[in-house]
Amino acid sequence: MKISSDCLRHEIFKEEFQFQSANVCNSPELLLAAIANPSAILRGYMFAEKASVLKKRSCFTISDAEQTNDSVSALETFSRSGKKNTDENQADNTFFKKETIGEVQYACEGFVDLRELQFISLDEIFDRLAFNSDYYPTYKTLLQTKIPEFNAEPKYYQLKNSEVKIPEYGILFSKENIVFLTKELFKRIFNINIIKSKSYAKITKLEYKLVYDCTVDTFYNDNDWITISSEKDINEIDFEPELYFVEEEKETSEKLREMITAAEEAKKLKNKQEKAKNNKKTSAVENHDDIKEKNDLNNETETSETQNQ
């Protein structure tokens, strides 16, 4: 028995991020209202626009919740009778079976990628443009109503230890913002309450730990796990997250971006010229074939007239 990860993710964010439709792109105000909130930042999103795609990758991964106890299902047979049926091809009574599982305990694993969480790109260079930077003042105002200490401004950043030395334009959350967003995610997980017509599931225990080296400190390492029993425990969470991005000088970054843009424009112009040249060659060959075909037709006509004479 299991509860799928898609079902869990839906239950975590269903109260605050209820839709994901391309129709919101028709209104910048509606789009910003949809993405300028903790749920959208944590869950991620993708909206297709005419010129580009706006997207934010989710920082949160969760596995299927699989059964951990020894509950065994019981299969029962039931019958239901109805009024007398005159159709000889249909029975008067209905027999059906019902499977009852009883109380089942599940367990799942997940992680929060703090590197993915702390940065929002306002740049198309790495194909992860989250929203148009022209609307940042409105985005900031909306997000400040949900994240009280948010006060970031767009700048150029470089991923630490990256071999690709290309600054990316975007906003970087502060350490306080990262802790706040992590708490918000834990609250949503802790309040999972799945209700179906004949069953339900809820969270009974949540454990977490801060991992600095995932090759050494794994899920199967029993050390440093902290248990959450209430929202009060979540509110008391405090840790020092690592910042994976460093700020770059604006002037140097813009010069580098101008060089990259100029190289891209030169490449596009070269491709356009080569395409025009190839089209010209193709047109010349087609004209030559048309002239040859016309001459051959004229020669055939003259030969036919000579034979008739």
What is the domain extent for residue 265? 249-309
Residue 231 and residue 191 share a domain: yes
Residue 204 and residue 147 share a domain: yes
What tokens appear for 236 in the block?
Answer: 């008391």
The DSSP code sequence of 143-200 is: HHTTSTT-----EEEEETT-SS---EEEEE--HHHHHHHHHHHHHHHHT-EEE-SS-E
Q: Which of 225, 248, 271 is the last residue in one of the domains?
A: 248
Most confident of 24-28, 51-55, 99-103, 233-237: 233-237
pLDDT at 56: 92
Assess contact for 155 and 169: CB atoms under 8 A: yes
What number of residues does the chain have? 309
Within-domain flag for 277: yes
Within-domain flag for 291: yes
Q: How far is CA 21 from CA 39, 50, 74, 204, 295, in A?
A: 16, 15, 42, 33, 61
Within-domain flag for 73: no
Q: Of 41-55, 88-102, 111-125, 269-283, which gets the smallest average pLDDT?
A: 88-102
Confidence category of residue 215, pLDDT binned at 50, 70, 90: confident
pLDDT at 121: 94
- pLDDT tens per residue across span 82-138: 665 666 666 566 777 777 777 889 999 999 999 999 999 998 888 899 998 999 999
Within-domain flag for 174: yes
The total number of structural domains that make up the chain: 2
Within-domain flag for 211: yes
Mean pLDDT of the chain: 84
Assess contact for 255 and 165: CB atoms under 8 A: no
Within-domain flag for 77: no
The percentage of residues in the chain with a pLDDT greater than 90, rounded to a whole number, is 39
Residues 6+ positions from 286 with CB-CB distance below 8 Å? none
> Which amino acid type is present at position 16?
E
Q: Quick check: 42 pLDDT over 80? A: yes
Residue 240 and residue 260 share a domain: no
- pLDDT tens per residue across span 243-253: 999 999 999 88
Within-domain flag for 208: yes
What tokens appear for 140 in the block?
Answer: 């900031």
Q: Residue 250: which H helix or E strand, with range? A: helix 250-308
Residue 138 and residue 17 share a domain: yes
